[in-house]
Chain A
Amino acid sequence: MTLHEILNTIDGKLLTVAAVHGCGVGSSEDNAGSSHSDGGRGNGECAGERDVANTASVGGNPLKQAAPNNNGCAGSDSGNEIAFELAFASDLMSDVLTLRNDNVVLLTGLATMQTIRTAEMADINCIIFVRNKKVSQEMVELANESGIDLIECRYSMFRTSGLLYQAGLKPVY
């Protein structure tokens, strides 16, 4: 599933830039940004990290400077979005760190900085926060630096998992 399909399936709200996977990065510039606010912190550093991390998909074009818009992924049908295939639901970061798979979507009710750090270490590029858990600005900034998409969702873990399972995301185990 693409980020855009995930958002539609769970009626989720995208909080990050959607740089790496979302919204037709690399082809349609107008979709590259979303509700991003750059707290003025470490901009150069972020851009540098992104360049290193995503040279292939980004083509050296610093996404931080892409014109922001507030539409999230709405209306993007780009075939260039990276597809997510697997999902894992857990509030236990210890468990998440044992995953070997790539391209996993993480569903969690734990909204802390450690959730973002854990995703960063485990190469997880998309986190869905269920049960209406609120993501802090600090978390959004760290996620943007690391190219991780954060989604807020008001449904329970069970409902969110069920919807995504039905829509085709596969379990890790």
Chain B
Amino acid sequence: MQFEYEIEGGNFSRAGYASSEVKKKLRQLNVDLKIIKRVVVALYEAEVNVVAHAWSGIMRVDIDRGRISLEIDDEGPGIPDIDKAMEEGFSTASPEVREMGFGAGMGLPNIKKNVDKLNITSEVGKGTKVVMVTYL
């Protein structure tokens, strides 16, 4: 089963809409509640990162019997040093983002804790692709 959602950079009032839709789908599919929580927290962190740091993005969700695969592909400034970005506490978030309660540099490390596989690729000036896989 596959779904796609658009994510708008900078639009904080809408941030989380796509993750919320995915959560509803996973519930309809009777996925274990503990797994749903971990998956949607990771997905939401990645969605908020697009809203906070990039210009626009696409969320692709692919669910089958064995796994949930989530891909967030954005157009944006990219991440120059991914290892650095993965460190807890590293953040380049704007004051505006911090006012929304984000920008603590905890999102990427938290994604890593919540999914089985995380792969980030990025090109500076072009965009970032975050792929997360969780086995069922």
Chain A residues packing against B (C-beta within 8 Å): 49, 52-53, 91-95, 97-98, 110, 112-115, 117-118, 120-123, 146
Q: Which residue of chain B has its CB nearest to the CB of A53?
A: B27
Within 8 Å CB of B13, what residues of A? 113
Within 8 Å CB of B105, what residues of A? 94
Given known A122-B37, A123-B37, contact A93–B100 (CB-CB < 8 A)? yes
Q: Which residue of chain B has its CB nearest to the CB of A123?
A: B37
* Chain B binding surface, main DSSP class: helix
Are A114 and B102 within 8 A (Cβ)? yes
The size bracket of the interface on B is 20 to 34
Query: Smallest Cβ distance from A5 to chain B, in angstroms?
Result: 25
Query: Smallest Cβ distance from A65 to chain B, in angstroms?
Result: 20
- Number of A-B residue pairs at CB separation under 8 A: 73
Q: Which residue of chain A has its CB nearest to the CB of B98?
A: A92
Within 8 Å CB of A49, what residues of B? 24
Within 8 Å CB of A92, what residues of B? 101-102, 104
Q: How far is the CA of A97 from the CA of B42 in the complex (A)?
A: 9
Within 8 Å CB of B106, what residues of A? 94-95, 97-98
Within 8 Å CB of B48, what residues of A? 114
Within 8 Å CB of A93, what residues of B? 100-102
Are B101 and A115 within 8 A (Cβ)? yes
CB-defined A-B contacts under 8 Å, sample of 8: A91-B101, A92-B101, A95-B106, A114-B12, A114-B100, A117-B20, A118-B16, A121-B41
Are A52 and B104 within 8 A (Cβ)? no
Chain B, 1-43, CB within 8 A of any chain A CB: 12-13, 15-16, 19-20, 23-24, 27-28, 33, 37, 40-41, 43
From A95, A114, A120, give the contact of B23 (CB < 8 A). A120
Are B100 and A121 within 8 A (Cβ)? no
Are A94 and B101 within 8 A (Cβ)? yes
Q: B76 in the interface, Cβ–Cβ < 8 Å?
A: no
Are A121 and B19 within 8 A (Cβ)? yes
Q: How far is the CA of A118 from the CA of B43 in the complex (A)?
A: 11
Are B101 and A112 within 8 A (Cβ)? yes
